Amino acid sequence: MAELSLVYRSRLPDAESVPPVVVLVHGWLGNEDAMWVFEQALPPGVAIFSPRAPLKAEGGYGWWMEKDDADGLRHGLTALREFITMLPRVHAVDPKRLVLVGFSQGAAVSAALLLSEPGLLCGVALLAGFLPEAARGWAAPGRLVGKRVFITHGLKDEIVPVAEARRAREIFACAGADVTYSEHPVAHKLSPPGLRELRRWLAATLA
């Protein structure tokens, strides 16, 4: 039997139909448990998967080491792509209704995956994230037509400045994505209003 390529945590709904999928993608020094706090924003009846990034670092795991390391990004991107590709082969889930919800570095690798393989996903939610420099050249006009992107960011974020979110918004919009964007007066985290916005966006995207 096929197996998924990364360690992960999951929850499958009790349903006879094939459920949509939300993949929670943690940030730098997180693990497969770090994103479970966002479970409260997920619609009922979805399958949830939270993979552990492949790179071991002191205190946790990451998708790549340095922010501007293009080779490192490609390795992390390959690991996430393999995990996503194998999901419907291992579990009875709907690959046509699959969304990534990423935080910080997890948002960055999720954004890069949407640009590199738009056919794998119906959308991504980027929480306090950024679009890696190496992935920006993949955003050709019209490449993301029909794809949905949610971006929310803190105005007081000193780890990932809000300018990164604004830049990502423009790039995704120019590529044809349907972008939902918000800013809130918080630091490097998701605000309560942002959580409510995420809940509404996920319900509409996975309907």
Please give the full DSSP string across 158-191, using - where no structure is assigned: SSS-HHHHHHHHHHHHHTT-EEEEEEES-SSS--
Q: Is the pLDDT of residue 15 over 80?
A: no
Give the residue, 205 or 207, on which the prediction is more confident: 205
Rounded to the nearest integer, the mean pLDDT of the chain is 95
For residue 21, the cross-strand partners are 47, 98
Specify the pLDDT at position 66.
Answer: 81
What's the confidence (pLDDT) of residue 2? 64
- What pLDDT, on a 0 to 100 scale, did the predictor assign at position 14? 87
The CATH class that applies to domain 8-205 reads: alpha beta
Does residue 1 surpass a pLDDT of 50?
Answer: no
Q: What is the mean pLDDT of residues 163-177?
A: 98
The pLDDT assigned to 128 comes to: 98
Residues 111-120: what's their mean pLDDT?
Answer: 96
Amino acid type, 13:
P
What is the pTM (predicted TM-score) of this model? Answer: 0.96
Q: How confident is the model at residue 73 (pLDDT cuts 50, 70, 90)?
A: very high
For residue 142, pLDDT over 80 is answered with yes
Are the beta carbons of 134 and 156 closer than 8 angstroms?
no
